[in-house]
Chains A and B, each alone.
Chain A
Amino acid sequence: MLTIPPKPVVLGAIALLACAVPIRSFFVATTGDDVDIVAVGLLDWITLPYILAGAVAWLRRPESRLGPLMLAGGFASGLSALQLTHVDSLYTVGAFFDVLPAALFLHVCLAFPDGRLRSRYESFLVGAAYAAALGLQLVKISFGAFGPRSLAELSAQPDVARTVQHVQLLSLSAICLVGAGVLVRRRRQAGRPRRRLLALLIDLFALGLVMIAVLFTAGTFDWPGFLAIQRTTLAVIGIAPIVFLIGLLDARLARSAVGDLILELRADPAPADLRDALSDALRDPSLTLAYWLPDFQAYVDLEGREVELPAGNGRTATLIERNGGHVAALIHDGALDDEPQLLDAVGAAAGISLENGRLHAELRARLEELKGSRARLLEAGRRERQNLERNLHDGAQQRLIALSLELSMLEQKLGDRPDLQARLDTARREITHTLEELRDVARGIHPAVLSGHGLAVALESIAARAPLPVQLTVDLDTRLPDRVEVAAFYVVSESLTNVAKHAEASDATVFVAKTSDGVVVEIVDNGVGGADTENGSGLRGLADRVEALGGRLRVWTPLGGGTRVQAEIPCA
């Protein structure tokens, strides 16, 4: 329909007409003695802001029908004020436009912010409102609802006119209430808009519709206090375009905030502070940034964790490009869609900083990936060792034991052959030695007792075999995941080996307990302290093992003050 920017001639006409409004009011107010000055003033209070807001909206977004719609609303209410004059022809025109502003207001409310109605249902609603406000108005006038002064009266039938008026006003009341319901439901679905002015505007729309419904119902049934209701309603309806104008002004101010942003970005903020700067410039506290990583084909946050771009739900992603490639996406409140220039300006200003943030995020993502692959490698190694140990157990070890048994029984059958008996005995001893060696090898590969019977049982032998007295406390009531048990086991056994080798301690304590999300392992000795935490001591290797599971190994080892090794390993 009206998707072209208004021509200067049209704008001039609008300005002239707008100037005509107060002149007309003055004229109206001075042509009679019994003119309701307050009513005239209130009608202007509606007319002028709607004309102004409509013109500005049309200029700013010519592709939206909202501007022309608001203009129409303004002029319609201006024309309806003509019924306050004493000139019969003008009075007739005013009578014709008496109810139309209500239908236009409903249209504006439902078509906000882009000027389009969102469903057939809404189109039907608005259509019905126009039919009632114009069609029934004609019928009403022709039956003499506005009295003999109206030049359009065909036949004076007051009863019919009253009935038509009741039908018209009540159906408009109902339509306005439904419209208010539509607004409330929309707000509930989209969540509360994070921009306060926008929220206020929509609230005013809904309130205005409810007031119109009340006003028309009051008019139908001749409620007392009709005048007060009418004035309040007009006052409320007039606030909406003013708030709308303030919102546009706010957007202008925001564009000057881009200047501040550029200054702020020149100070080269840390990637973590970039979001706050952009959020200030866009006046959207809910803003988040997502960086595009081409190698991962994914958007990630600053910590390198993958994020999904929003689809609907009142959130929008604005993609930022730089040198022909994706850099990042601003994920912001859907209300900002109204201000594409602002988004473009902020995106352009933040280009280099976003590029920096992207590099930071990429580093984090690669680090995360590395961590994951380290954990997987460790886990694969553990499984392999476990299988190896089981194969050894079920294969070579079993067979050797069976062989030793066979030899032993053979030896008993030999009877009195001491020479052969001695040789069999030697062979059996060899087997026993081999079994001992195999057992050590198997234990080195994977402590079978751990997967079979858990930490508490496995640590018992470790503590008993240590070359110094060890006080062992294991406070676990359930088994832990294999990888956690293995890591905890090695922390204890390696630490006790370290204590034996380097600490010159007279005793040590080992403490193992469940935490809310895993297990804590602590080994404390009363030795010389000053342990080497980086090279060779095995502590570095333990830390790697624990960190690969997302845990943390800490070592306190003051000179002369003993050593405390503490590992926290999560089970998740």
Chain B
Amino acid sequence: MRVALAEDSVLLREGLARLLGEAGFDVVAQCDNADDLLLKVRSYDPDVAIVDIRLPPTHNDEGLQAALDIRSQHPSVGVLVLSQYVELGLALKLLADSAEGVGYLLKDRIGDVEEFVAAVRRVAAGGSALDPLIVQTLVSRQRPDDPLVQLTPREREVLELMAEGSSNQGIAEKLVITVRAVEKYVSSIFGKLGLPSTGSESRRVLAVLTFLRS
């Protein structure tokens, strides 16, 4: 799998490149600013671009803008946005139209190499990766007549993992249950929340997010 990398801290960029290299990725491009990234994505056509949300020159929204540009101009390239803060508002911007091939994670998650590498693979393959902090914020959000109270604690766990972008297989591994059991939970959750069942896992992410947000 081919990766392009945009991160303005040399220390982190090289650490990330090494980590991804050792995990079997082909790091085809490294850069420290948004313009360079867009150029390299166009020329190297990577499977996934990993983008720091704060990039020069102003360190405001250049990274996010680059991520959105790649999403609209190169829909086949997955985009994983990294940030030192995760914000619901930004997640909603990134996933405005679809959750396919998009991820938004706290930078701290790099420290958990296995999880992080799994997330990169998922996004590269067209799946999603949403930071647990954001899912937490959404799930614990106060709402009148909260429909989530109907869910069992297990179902809640499954819902959160779904929202983070995990596949049924991934959920099964994490909760140490069978894929069949996961499927049962999923259909029970969709039934209780009145959500129409959707095909792909990334569409499922969007459906759950939309539900949690409303």
Report the separation of the CA atoms of residues A448 and B61 in the bound assembly, to the nearest whole angstrom.
11
Q: Does A435 contact B (CB under 8 A)?
A: yes
Known contacts A457-B90, A468-B142, A507-B144: A404-B85 contact under CB 8 Å: no
Q: Does B64 contact A (CB under 8 A)?
A: yes
Q: Is the CB of B12 within 8 A of A464?
A: no
CB distance from B149 to the nearest CB of A (A): 14
Complex interface residues of chain B between 107 and 148 (CB less than 8 A to chain A): 107-108, 110-113, 137-138, 141-144
Which of these, A394, A432, A449, contacts B90 with CB under 8 Å?
A: A449
Q: Is the CB of B90 within 8 A of A453?
A: yes
Q: Does B88 contact A (CB under 8 A)?
A: yes
Q: Is the CB of B89 within 8 A of A459?
A: yes
Q: Does A467 contact B (CB under 8 A)?
A: yes
Q: Does B87 contact A (CB under 8 A)?
A: yes
Q: Does B93 contact A (CB under 8 A)?
A: yes
Known contacts A401-B110, A409-B22, A443-B85: A394-B138 contact under CB 8 Å: no
Q: Is the CB of A404 within 8 A of B61?
A: no
Closest residue to B137 on the A side, CB-wise? A464
Q: Is the CB of B87 within 8 A of A449?
A: yes
Give 1 or 0 for each of B97-113: 1 = CB within 8 Å of chain A CB.
00000000001101111
Task: Please report the total number of B residues contacting A with Cβ < 8 Å.
Answer: 34
Q: Is the CB of B111 within 8 A of A458?
A: no
Q: Is the CB of A452 within 8 A of B54?
A: yes
Complex interface residues of chain A between 428 and 461 (CB less than 8 A to chain B): 428, 431-432, 435-436, 439, 442-443, 448-449, 451-453, 456-461
Give 1 or 0 for each of B50-66: 1 = CB within 8 Å of chain A CB.
00011000011100100
Q: Is the CB of B113 within 8 A of A456?
A: no
Closest residue to B141 on the A side, CB-wise? A464
Q: Is the CB of B111 within 8 A of A464?
A: no
**Interface hit among B13-21, B31-39, B72-80, B178-186:** B13-21
User: Which residues on B sit within 8 Å (CB–CB) of A405?
Assistant: 12, 15-16, 19, 110-111, 113
User: Which residues on A sit within 8 Å (CB–CB) of B93?
Assistant: 453, 457
Give 1 or 0 for each of A360-376: 1 = CB within 8 Å of chain B CB.
00000000000000000
Give 1 or 0 for each of A378-420: 1 = CB within 8 Å of chain B CB.
0000000000001001100111011011111100100000000
Q: Is the CB of B89 within 8 A of A461?
A: yes
Which of these, A394, A461, A469, A506, contacts B88 with CB under 8 Å?
A: A461
User: Which residues on B sit within 8 Å (CB–CB) of A412?
Assistant: 22, 113
Secondary structure of the B side of the interface? helix
Closest residue to B143 on the A side, CB-wise? A469
Q: Does A465 contact B (CB under 8 A)?
A: yes
Known contacts A412-B113, A460-B92: A398-B12 contact under CB 8 Å: yes
Report the separation of the CA atoms of residues A214 and B19 in the bound assembly, to the nearest whole angstrom.
104
Which of these, A399, A404, A507, contacts B108 with CB under 8 Å?
A: A404
Q: Is the CB of B87 within 8 A of A401?
A: no
CB distance from B210 to the nearest CB of A (A): 14
Closest residue to B7 on the A side, CB-wise? A398
Q: Is the CB of B108 within 8 A of A401?
A: yes
Report the separation of the CA atoms of residues A442 and B85 in the bound assembly, to the nearest whole angstrom.
10
Q: Does B198 contact A (CB under 8 A)?
A: no
Known contacts A398-B12, A405-B16: A461-B137 contact under CB 8 Å: yes
Which of these, A402, A439, A457, contacts B9 with CB under 8 Å?
A: A402
Q: Is the CB of A407 within 8 A of B111?
A: yes
Q: Does B150 contact A (CB under 8 A)?
A: no
Which of these, B12, B85, B92, B143, contacts A449 with CB under 8 Å?
A: B85
Which of these, A393, A398, A467, contacts B11 with CB under 8 Å?
A: A398
User: Which residues on A sit within 8 Å (CB–CB) of B111?
Assistant: 401, 404-405, 407-408, 428, 431-432
Q: Is the CB of B15 within 8 A of A406?
A: yes
Q: Does B187 contact A (CB under 8 A)?
A: no
Q: Does A160 contact B (CB under 8 A)?
A: no
Q: Is the CB of B60 within 8 A of A452?
A: yes
Q: Does A13 contact B (CB under 8 A)?
A: no
Complex interface residues of chain A between 451 and 498 (CB less than 8 A to chain B): 451-453, 456-461, 464-470
Complex interface residues of chain B between 137 and 178 (CB less than 8 A to chain A): 137-138, 141-144
Secondary structure of the A side of the interface? helix
Task: Please report the total number of A residues contacting B with Cβ < 8 Å.
Answer: 43
Closest residue to A406 on the B side, CB-wise? B15
CB distance from B120 to the nearest CB of A (A): 14
Q: Does B188 contact A (CB under 8 A)?
A: no
Report the separation of the CA atoms of residues A435 and B18 in the bound assembly, to the nearest whole angstrom.
22
Report the separation of the CA atoms of residues A404 and B59 in the bound assembly, to the nearest whole angstrom.
23
User: Which residues on B sit within 8 Å (CB–CB) of A458?
Assistant: 87, 89
Report the separation of the CA atoms of residues A431 and B11 in the bound assembly, to the nearest whole angstrom.
17
**Chain B CB within 10 Å, residue with most, of A390, A460, A467, A469:** A460
Q: Does B84 contact A (CB under 8 A)?
A: yes
User: Which residues on B sit within 8 Å (CB–CB) of A432?
Assistant: 108, 111
Closest residue to B63 on the A side, CB-wise? A452
User: Which residues on A sit within 8 Å (CB–CB) of B108?
Assistant: 401, 404, 432, 435-436
User: Which residues on B sit within 8 Å (CB–CB) of A436?
Assistant: 108
**Chain A CB within 10 Å, residue with most, of B15, B137, B144:** B15
Report the separation of the CA atoms of residues A409 and B111 in the bound assembly, to the nearest whole angstrom.
8
CB distance from A438 to the nearest CB of B (A): 9
Known contacts A398-B12, A507-B144: A461-B59 contact under CB 8 Å: no
Known contacts A465-B137, A467-B142: A402-B15 contact under CB 8 Å: yes
CB distance from B85 to the nearest CB of A (A): 6
**Chain B CB within 10 Å, residue with most, of A431, A432, A452, A461:** A452
Q: Is the CB of B89 within 8 A of A453?
A: yes
CB distance from B174 to the nearest CB of A (A): 18
Report the separation of the CA atoms of residues A442 and B93 in the bound assembly, to the nearest whole angstrom.
23
Known contacts A412-B113, A469-B143: A397-B84 contact under CB 8 Å: yes
**Chain A CB within 10 Å, residue with most, of B61, B108, B113:** B108
User: Which residues on B sit within 8 Å (CB–CB) of A457?
Assistant: 87, 89-90, 93
Closest residue to B18 on the A side, CB-wise? A409
Q: Is the CB of B9 within 8 A of A453?
A: no
User: Which residues on B sit within 8 Å (CB–CB) of A448?
Assistant: 54, 84-85
CB distance from B16 to the nearest CB of A (A): 7
**Chain B CB within 10 Å, residue with most, of A399, A461, A468:** A461
**Chain B CB within 10 Å, residue with most, of A399, A439, A456:** A439
Q: Is the CB of B60 within 8 A of A393?
A: no
Report the separation of the CA atoms of residues A458 and B15 in the bound assembly, to the nearest whole angstrom.
30
Report the separation of the CA atoms of residues A406 and B108 in the bound assembly, to the nearest whole angstrom.
12
User: Which residues on B sit within 8 Å (CB–CB) of A506?
Assistant: 144
Interface residues of A (CB under 8 A from B): 390, 393-394, 397-399, 401-402, 404-409, 412, 428, 431-432, 435-436, 439, 442-443, 448-449, 451-453, 456-461, 464-470, 506-507
10 contacts between A and B (CB under 8 A): A401-B110, A404-B108, A408-B110, A408-B112, A409-B113, A442-B85, A448-B85, A456-B89, A461-B137, A469-B143
Contacts beyond the supplied A464-B137, A465-B137, A469-B144: 11 A-B pairs with Cβ under 8 Å: A394-B9, A397-B84, A401-B111, A409-B15, A452-B61, A453-B93, A461-B87, A464-B138, A465-B141, A469-B141, A469-B143
Q: Which 4 A-B pairs have the closest CB atoms?
A: A457-B89, A460-B89, A404-B111, A402-B11
